[in-house]
Structure 1
Amino acid sequence: MMPQLVTVRVERPDQRAIRIWVPVLPVVLVLSPVMVLAVLGAAVACLVFSISLVRALGTGWRVVSALPGTRVDAEYSRTAVLVSIR
């Protein structure tokens, strides 16, 4: 299943935490022209490097499908960024 929601939370010790919810489907629809160009670029790269296009697209889809449930925590200095994909 494709991810539905990305939650980004930025925590700083001096201020309140900022939480942003980003729905994935509207972002994908807005960026679909760019995604078409990216798929065409991937197709050309597959032809240049003799990689099966169907297998490469299938692998890419499996990576996107595995994203729900992923959580990324990054901390730099006193600022923490927490990203959760649902």
Structure 2
Amino acid sequence: MIPQLVTVRVERPGRAPIRAWVPVLPVALALSPLLIVAALAALIACVVFRVDVVRAFVAGWRLVCALPGTRVDVHEGRSAVLVSIR
């Protein structure tokens, strides 16, 4: 199952945390022209470096499907950025 929602939370000292919920599908649709260009670039890179194109795209799809449940926490000093993919 592909990710459906990305939650971003930025905590700063002395200020209220900033939260943002980003739906993946509308963003992917809006950026689809860039996704097509990126897929073509990946195809060309696979041909240049002699990598099996089908296996590379299957591996990329499996990586995207494994993203739900991923949580990334970055703390720098007293500030923090928390990203959760659902």
TM range (shorter): over 0.9
Give TM-score, length-normalised by structure 2.
Answer: 0.98
Which amino acid letter does the alignment assign opposite residue 18 of structure 2? I
Runs of 4+ in 1 over 6 A off after TM superposition: none
Matching residue of 1:47 = 47
Structure 1 regions of 5+ residues with no counterpart?
A: none
Give percent identity, aligned residues only.
64
User: CA deviation digits over 1:35-62, x for unaligned, max 9?
Assistant: 0000000000000011110000000000
One-letter amino acid of the structure 2 residue matched with residue 60 of structure 1: G
Q: Which residue of 2 aligns with 1:14?
A: 14
What's the TM-score once normalised by structure 1's chain length? 0.98
Q: How many residues get paired?
A: 86
- Cα deviation 1:21-78 (Å, max 9, x = unaligned): 0000000000000000000000000000111100000000000000000000001121
- Equivalent residue for 2:68? 68
d(CA) in 2 for partners of 1:32, 1:77: 37
